[in-house]
Amino acid sequence: KYYPFYIPSIKNNKNYKILLEEIKYHRIKIEELVIKVNVHIFLTQSLFRSINSANCVNMK
């Protein structure tokens, strides 16, 4: 669904309320995505750290 951002009468406008709900929903989805990406980065970094430390042990 496409809701135009220009809304002539904001008060009691159904489209405006729908748009606000959409924005809230998308904001929540974006926050969830950011958290997932951060977790992924953290896990990848810790994985590389453990590989590096394992390599250092093997080198000795």
pLDDT of residue 8: 59
1-49 per-position pLDDT tens digit: 555 555 555 566 777 788 888 888 999 899 999 999 999 999 999 888 8
In angstroms, the CA 28 to CA 9 distance is: 27
CA distances from 22 to 5, 7, 18, 43, 60 (A): 12, 15, 6, 31, 57
As to burial, measured by CB atoms within 10 angstroms (0-12 exposed, 13-18 middle, 19+ buried), residue 19 is middle
This prediction has a pTM of: 0.51
pLDDT of residue 17: 82
- Amino acid of residue 13: N
pLDDT of residue 39: 92
Are 23 and 14 in contact, with CB atoms under 8 Å apart? Answer: no
pLDDT of residue 40: 92
